[in-house]
Amino acid sequence: MGLTFFKNTVLLVVLTIISCGSQNKEKIETTESKELSMDDIVYVNDKIILGANRFSEYHYLLKGKQIGVVANQTSMVEDIADEEYQTSPQHTFYMEFHLVDHLIKSGISVKKVFAPEHGFRGTADAGEHVKDGVDSKTGVPLISLYGSNKKPSQEQLKGIDVVVFDIQDVGARFYTYISTLHYVMEACAEVGIPVIVLDRPNPNGHYIDGPILEPENQSFVGMHPIPVVHGMTIGEYAQMINGEGWLKDKIKCKLTVVKMQNYTHETPYALPIKPSPNLPNAQSINLYPSLCFFEGTFINAGRGTDIQFQVFGAPSLPASKYTFEYTPQSNEGAKNPKFKGELCHGKDLRKEPRLNKINLEWLIDAYNANGKKKDFFNSFFVKLAGTDKLQKQIEEGLSAEEIRDSWKEGLANFQKIRAKYLLYP
C-alpha cells in the first residue's frame, strides 16, 4: 500500500489503515517529512519489514546487557504509539521512534551512541569534523566516528557488552557508512564484543558496476576491493567484510545480521529519511554513484543548492551546450560549495530515468567541453575511482563503452565473491 508524504509537513497523522483481523493498524508520522522523489511523493513498500522492526529477533540478545548503538537520523523503528495517541478503541496507532529512544523505552540499557559522518542528527557537511557530546533527549553520551576518531577505541568500548549497528546505506563504495561499519566490526572483534547489524534495503541494490578498488588506493572513501556499486545490503556487506578476512590481521567479528522480510535486490525502495544532507531524494540517491566522480574534479555536483547530485556545472562549461544555470550558495551540508555565488552552466538531470549502470558520458563530456583539461581532475578523483586507470582512460580519449569493457573481468570475479554472502534473492 502506498503512503503519500508531502514536503514540509509536520506531524502527519494516520496515513494508512492496514487491516489485521478484527484490529486495524494505523501509522503516525511525527517527524518532518522529506522530499524523496521526483514528484514530491514517496511510495513506501509496506511489505518490507526492516531488520530494526523485527524487535523480537534481537531483543533477547540485548536484554540485561550494556549496549552501544551506532546510529544516525535514519535509525528509525516502528512501534505502538504512546498512550496519548491511542484515541480509538477500534485501532492501534503506530509511530516512528529513533532506535535509541525505542531501546530505552523497551527497557534496554543504552550506554553509548556512536555517530558516523554527518553526525547523530545527520546535519554536518561531508568531511566536516563531528564533535563528541551528549544526546539532549536521552542524556546518552555521543561519540563521533568521523575525523581523527574513525574507529572506536578500547576505552570508548569499555563497559559495553553488545554493539548494535543500524544505519541506512545507499550502496556506493565511497559512501562512508560502510567504512564506519568496517572499523566498528574491527574494534569490537579486537575486544570480543558481538555486533548486531539491523539490515535495511539498498536503494541501489538492483545493479553492480564500476572499477574494482586497488589496494594502493585504499582510503576512508574506499576500503575494500569492490566495485563502486556493490549491490549488497549493509547486512550482506558486513558478512563479506568478515568472510573475506578484511578486518585487521584477518580477525573475525562475532556478527549477527537481523534480516529483513519480503525484500529482494530488485525491490524499489524510496528512503523515508535523507541518509545525509546532500542526498535529499530518490533521484539524487540513484544518480549519486555516477555524479560523485565530479567531487574529484573542479565541477560542482549540485552542492550549495537544494537539488544536490541531480545537476552538475561550472562557470567554465560552455553555455551554448550546458544551458541549465544555477548559483551555489551556503546551505545545510555545504557551507562552502564549489563556485559559491558564481553562475554555473550545467546539466539538469532531475528527469533522467532510473539508472541501472554508472553513467560515464556526463563525466567524459564535461572533461572534453570545459577547456581546462589539465585542471579538470584533482587528487581526490583516484580515491573515489579506487584506481588511477579511469582518469588515464578519460584523458586518453577512450569512450564510455571502451572504459566499461575494462571493468568486465573485475566485475565477474566480484559477482562470484558476492554470491557467498547474499541474504536475499
Domains and their CATH numbers in the chain: 45-77+97-258 (3.40.50.12170), 282-387 (no CATH)
Contact 73, 122 (CB under 8 A): yes
Task: Give the pairing of strands 76-80 and 133-134.
Answer: unpaired
Residue 94: strand, helix, or coil = strand
Single-letter code of the amino acid located at 396: E
User: What letter represents residue 118's amino acid?
Assistant: H
Residue 95: per-residue pLDDT:
74
Helix (H, G, I), strand (E, B) or coil at 286: helix
pLDDT per residue as tens digits for the range 84-129: 555 666 665 667 889 999 999 999 999 999 988 766 754 544 444 4
User: Which residues lie across from 115 on neighbouring strands?
Assistant: 144
Residue 198, strand partner residues: 258
Would you tell me how many other CB atoms lie within 10 Å of the CB of residue 170? Answer: 22
* pLDDT computed for residue 136 by the predictor: 77
Q: Write down the residue that cell numbers 547474499 correspond to.
A: 422
- Kind and range of the H or E element at 314? strand 311-314
Closest CA to 282 of 5, 1, 26, 77: 5
Distance CA 24, CA 237 (A): 36
Longest CA pairwise span in the chain (Å)? 70
Proportion of the chain above pLDDT 70, given as a percent: 82
What is the reported pTM? 0.86
The whole-angstrom distance between residue 158's C-alpha and the CA centroid of its chain comes to 28
Residue 49 DSSP label:
B
pLDDT of residue 14: 31
Residues of the chain predicted below pLDDT 70: 1-46, 80-94, 118-119, 121-132
Which tens digits make up the pLDDT trace of 249-261? Answer: 999 999 999 999 9
* CA gap 168, 272 in Å, rounded: 10
